[in-house]
Chains A and B, each alone.
Chain A
């Protein structure tokens, strides 16, 4: 998608410095937050923030709108929950299994989806994710409508007891930051620059000798794997893997978070995820109104607010965020 209205994230003087300042502020806020806000809510927000950042890597920098990202979140959740509960693996191995599984899924779906562009790409990813939804609905190991419940949290590396809230919280924070920094590094690497070039003008990138499909596939797999990291962590934290995480509504939610926060901005998906998770928590008792509000946010964002919260801030400050 041509996010031409988003500020270009070209490394101009001072860019790295002020992004570093914002990053430090973000880390400080998340480090203090569990002493002020309910930690379980924060962990949910962190998992979704990582999920949204992973999704943003694809749409914001690769211009590829995947409408089936729930597949990686949910599949990884099932894998890590199964590994931790049935096989009795420690949490770090369970999360790793989920992440690698999602990346492998990304290879298969990505290879199919990048054969078409634009709108078709979105429809193909959505359809393949729906196929996986039906697979998980029927597969014997997922527990159907009940999901996999009572997943043990265990002890991380045999040292950190994840059954206690604060150690669990800081583990989740560390996982989120690791994913975030990996994405940041990717965007600002030569690989990320080529990806942006392909987004802006694919034929031209091709004629310059870049194998566009390979770049797209690598970005897709990276995005799927990081979504899987978010999904595996979420399954361990909430001790649950369920159909909600593979359903298309979840794919829509991650689009919403990223769009609201700001497509193609570094911090936008985090802000968007926090806003959407907060909204859902407060509106939860209103039932189907949540869907109406989400739909309304989509409409407003697309018509009048395409830069998103962080994109607008960046424009005001005249600095890419």
Chain B
């Protein structure tokens, strides 16, 4: 017994928290990358996460392509859709107040979720776990399901990969420069509008990957992203959108705290992240890793 809680329950909830944290980290990372260059908060992110899971479901159902193909194809498909969205809709808003971007992406999210709900109802569709990742291993103090370990490892690798590309490569340096001063970067001969499109596509693809990872754990459901995105907004406010490592640390950390709350005070597990957000706003309004405006 640890603090009066059986270790199985404690570590079980911590693992669930870690998994949730992985999703918070991936989604808030995508939001930050998009916000950095486009200055738009992508409210469609939850719907795009849901679409990633649905593409995985379609691939298995209609094309017989399994999980590993889905992990590759779903982000490409949803990312391309996102790029079309940016090209034809979002780009008209860059000269306007940022809040119009929020409203437009909110509307698009409503439309996408409504269409999927018409087609598939509100109950979830099951998605089978890939055979390679079923089962689990006994760590002595708890049983670790292989798939959940995979989700944590894969999302960590994805976040670190994103950090590496943005902070350590030439492409990333263009991106950071364009975030600071797009006009100047364009003057140096870099195609900034194309970079914006690709960045949006990349951020959206991150959401779709998260959706594929979520499909075997949660059911594939038209509304799976609707409530999640609000929690991710709170995560973004807590972390501040300035730093990539910040998004990742905040995402995983808050997932763990949520897991712990489920053990010690389950009534508050839905609200704990929002309470932390309120506290952070009181103490450090710019967010834990954010820069003051």
Contact = CB atoms under 8 A, between A and B. Distances in A.
Interface in B81-128: 89, 92-93, 96-100, 102-104, 106-115, 117-118
A117 B165 CA distance: 30
A127 B274 contact: yes
Interface string A93-126: 0000000000000000000100111111011101
A134 interface: yes
B274 A299 contact: no
A295 B116 CA distance: 13
Given A295-B108, A296-B107, A298-B103, A131 B271 contact: yes
B233 interface: yes
A112 B236 CA distance: 16
A138 B277 CA distance: 20
Given A2-B97, A138-B267, A295 B281 contact: no
A124 B275 CA distance: 11
B89 A135 contact: no
Contact of A296 (B89, B102, B111, B227): B111
A306 B281 CA distance: 32
Contact of B275 (A131, A259, A297, A298): A131
A117 B281 CA distance: 12
Contacts of B117: 287-288, 291
A65 B102 CA distance: 10
Contacts of B277: 124, 127-128
B26 to A, nearest CB: 18
A134 B271 contact: yes
Nearest to B269: A134
B237 interface: yes
Nearest to B107: A298
B95 to A, nearest CB: 11
A298 B106 contact: yes
Interface residues of B, number: 43
Contacts of B107: 294-299, 301-302
A112 B282 contact: yes
Contacts of B115: 288, 292
Contacts of A288: 114-115, 117-118
A112 B274 contact: no
B270 interface: yes
A123 B271 contact: no
B100 to A, nearest CB: 5
Nearest to B35: A119
A162 interface: no
Nearest to B267: A138
Contacts of A67: 102
B41 interface: yes
B274 A130 contact: yes
B285 interface: yes
B92 A303 contact: yes
Chain A interface size range: 35 or more
A124 B231 CA distance: 10
B138 interface: no
B5 interface: no
A7 interface: no
Given A1-B99, A117-B293, A302-B100, A122 B41 contact: yes
Given A119-B41, A123-B236, A302 B104 contact: yes
B234 interface: yes
B230 to A, nearest CB: 5
B278 interface: yes
Given A119-B41, A248-B230, A292-B111, A306 B278 contact: no
A135 B285 CA distance: 24
B102 A112 contact: no
Nearest to A304: B92
Point out which of A67, A131, A287 has the most chain B C-beta atoms below 10 A from its C-beta.
Answer: A131
B202 to A, nearest CB: 20
A290 B106 CA distance: 15
A289 interface: yes
A303 B102 contact: no
A302 B103 contact: yes
Given A112-B282, A302-B100, A291 B237 contact: no
A299 B105 CA distance: 8
A291 B100 CA distance: 19
Nearest to B110: A295
Nearest to B122: A288
A252 interface: yes
B99 to A, nearest CB: 5
A115 to B, nearest CB: 4
Contact of A303 (B89, B106, B110, B281): B89
Contact of A291 (B96, B111, B227): B111
A197 interface: no
B28 to A, nearest CB: 11
B281 A289 contact: no
Contacts of A292: 110-111, 114-115, 118
B281 A119 contact: no
A255 interface: yes
Contacts of B108: 295, 298-299
Interface of B: 35, 41, 89, 92-93, 96-100, 102-104, 106-115, 117-118, 227, 230-231, 233-234, 236-237, 267, 270-271, 274-275, 277-278, 281-282, 285, 293
Given A128-B277, A287-B118, 6 more contacts: A119-B99, A123-B41, A124-B281, A127-B277, A296-B107, A299-B111
5 contacts: A292-B110, A298-B104, A298-B107, A303-B89, A306-B96
